């Protein structure tokens, strides 16, 4: 992390300079006065600022997070005639993050203890479908992906995508059994993404800074995934550059979907995978496929395809500023977030439940821009 403190400009060095010169001052100037206030704490580090202004906006993108309050669905369904379907959808705001983990669970469901089939179909070509297809290929299966849309036209391309399984389920609805599967999926995915760090897949580690005016304090129920956010520490008021009293720091991976999804698609094709553009209107259309082992990775599309009313869109939008390569950190403040990528600085913070429109919400865009302009305007230089 950059530390731009300079000894010449610190209050300590200024005090030392004044102390050394005191003997040269006239006697009247040396009369004892009220005790000096304690020195203000010095930020332990400084960071380059995001330049936020409407004329730096290059696009606003919208996507529907495939939210399932009960949690993502990985489940077998017998289609009859010796056909087996495994569902793998409903990952909410954490589908890129969890992709390799829930894909592992889905492949376990599909293959069981039997020898892998010669071929299989994956429906959907977002982060979840691609990870599922690649894991099947690694088991020696010839895979065809059938999808209505390909990258860059999937919801996965709209994601930020920070490695963080966020807004995935509702604790009031999700079962303990789901929570265990979720944790297992998160740990598998966390490990696999680490092997993809680098420019080929567009994955890197970045420091995150959540800030708050209230102390963070410990949660009543400890986060079972806390160890997946390493190097966590807190900063006391005045010891960090952010315009809030308290700040935390931890590390997380950032996945750049435009780079990542294309690279995984390339891997899939290089490994002999086939790709077909096809939209399915109902599950029984899957029985016309030549493959008898099928995984359904259709994201929000699964609601119409399967009739799963337990799914609801969480509309999200990102306003993207011109790239600033010097910004290598993430901020999370008051429900807003800033995440830097090679293709722009992402400003977000919306979750509109059960809103199906893919049109940008202009009021939300203005609020997000104004909030970030104020935040970075007040950040210490």
Ligand X SMILES: Cc1cc2nc3c(=O)[nH]c(=O)nc-3n(C[C@H](O)[C@H](O)[C@H](O)COP(=O)(O)OP(=O)(O)OC[C@H]3O[C@@H](n4cnc5c(N)ncnc54)[C@H](O)[C@@H]3O)c2cc1C
Binding site for ligand X (CB under 6 A): 63, 65-66, 89, 91-97, 123-129, 147-149, 154-156, 158-162, 164, 279-280, 297-301, 305, 316-318, 348
Of the two residues 79 and 380, which places its CB atom closer to ligand X in the complex? 79
Cα–Cα distances (Å) from 149 to 145, 221, 298, in that order, read: 11, 40, 10
Query: Are the C-beta atoms of 344 and 212 separated by less than 8 Å?
Result: no
- In whole angstroms, the minimum distance from the beta carbon of 306 to ligand X comes to 10
Cβ proximity to ligand X, 167 vs 239, nearer residue: 167
- Smallest gap from Cβ 152 to ligand X, in A, equals 11
204 close to 341: Cβ distance less than 8 angstroms: no
Nearer to ligand X by C-beta: 77 or 234?
A: 77
Q: Which residue has the tokens 């509109």?
A: 352
CA atoms within 13 A on the CB side of 303: 16
- Rounded to 5 degrees, φ, ψ at 140 are 90, 15
Q: How far is the CB of 294 from ligand X (least distance, A)?
A: 12
Q: Which residue's CB is nearer to ligand X, number 209 or number 246?
A: 209
DSSP state of 55: G
Q: Which is nearer to ligand X, 119 or 148 (CB)?
A: 148
Output the smallest distance, CB 295 to ligand X, in A.
11
Q: Which is nearer to ligand X, 50 or 96 (CB)?
A: 96
Min dist. Cβ of residue 329 to ligand X (A): 15
Q: Provide the 3-class DSSP secondary structure of residue 284.
A: helix
Q: How near is the Cβ of 129 to ligand X at its closest, in Å?
A: 5
Q: In angstroms, give the least distance from the CB of 64 to ligand X.
A: 6
Cβ proximity to ligand X: between 12 and 277 the closer is: 277
CB of 36 to ligand X, least distance (A): 47
Among residues 129 and 344, whose Cβ is nearest to ligand X? 129
Q: Considering the complex, state which of residue 43 and residue 129 has its C-beta at the smaller distance from ligand X.
A: 129
Number of alpha carbons in the 13 Å side-chain half-sphere of residue 139: 22
Q: Which helix (H) or strand (E) element contains residue 41?
A: none
C-beta separation of 320 from 58 below 8 A: yes
**Least distance CB 162 / ligand X (angstroms):** 4
Q: C-beta of 94: minimal distance to ligand X in Å?
A: 4
What is the C-alpha separation between 211 and 213, in angstroms, rounded?
A: 7
| DSSP structural state of residue 239 | S
Strand partners, 319: 60, 347
| 63 and 81 Cβ atoms separated by less than 8 Å | no
For residue 27, give the H/E element and its range: none
- 279 sits in the region (left: phi over 0; alpha: psi -120 to 50; else beta) called beta
C-alpha to C-alpha distance for 350 and 341, rounded to whole angstroms: 19
Distance CA 136, CA 272 (A): 12
Distance CA 249, CA 371 (A): 21
Which is closer to ligand X, CB of 142 or CB of 275? 275
Q: How far is CA 312 from CA 128, 177, 290, in A?
A: 18, 21, 32
Give kind and range of the element (H or E) at residue 128: helix 127-138
């Amino acid at each position: 992390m950059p530390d731009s403190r300079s000894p010449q400009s610190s209050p300590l060095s200024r005090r030392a300079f004044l102390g050394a010169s005191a003997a040269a001052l006239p006697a009247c100037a040396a009369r004892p006065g009220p005790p000096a206030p304690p020195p203000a704490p010095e930020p332990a580090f400084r960071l380059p600022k995001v330049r936020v202004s409407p004329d730096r906006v290059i696009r606003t993108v919208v996507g529907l997070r495939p939210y399932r309050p009960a949690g993502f669905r990985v489940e077998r369904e017998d289609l009859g005639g010796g056909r087996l379907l495994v569902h793998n959808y409903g990952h909410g705001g954490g589908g890129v993050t969890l992709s390799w983990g829930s894909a592992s669970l889905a492949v376990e469901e599909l293959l069981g203890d039997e020898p892998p089939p010669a071929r299989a179909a994956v429906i959907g070509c977002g982060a979840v479908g691609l990870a599922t297809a690649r894991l099947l290929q690694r088991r020696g299966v010839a895979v065809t992906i059938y999808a209505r849309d390909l990258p860059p036209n999937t919801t996965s391309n709209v994601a930020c995508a920070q490695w963080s399984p966020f807004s995935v389920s509702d604790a009031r609805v999700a079962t303990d059994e789901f929570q265990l599967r979720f944790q297992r999926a998160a740990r598998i995915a966390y490990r696999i993404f680490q092997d993809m760090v680098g420019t080929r897949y567009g994955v890197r580690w970045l420091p995150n800074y959540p800030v708050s005016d209230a102390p963070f304090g410990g949660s009543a129920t400890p986060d079972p995934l806390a160890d997946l956010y390493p190097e966590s520490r807190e900063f006391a008021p005045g010891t960090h550059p952010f315009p809030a009293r308290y700040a935390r720091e931890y590390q997380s991976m950032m996945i750049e979907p435009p780079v990542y999804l294309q690279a995984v698609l390339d891997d899939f094709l290089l490994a002999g995978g086939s790709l077909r553009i096809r939209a399915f209107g109902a599950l029984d259309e899957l029985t016309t496929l030549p493959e008898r082992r099928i995984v359904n990775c259709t994201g929000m599309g699964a609601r119409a395809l399967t009739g799963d009313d337990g799914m609801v869109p969480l509309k999200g939008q990102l306003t993207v500023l011109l790239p600033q390569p010097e910004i290598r950190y993430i901020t999370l403040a008051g429900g807003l977030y800033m995440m830097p990528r090679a293709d722009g600085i992402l400003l977000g913070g919306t979750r509109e439940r059960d809103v199906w429109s893919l049109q940008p919400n202009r009021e939300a865009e203005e609020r997000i821009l104004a909030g970030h302009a104020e935040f970075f305007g007040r950040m210490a230089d």
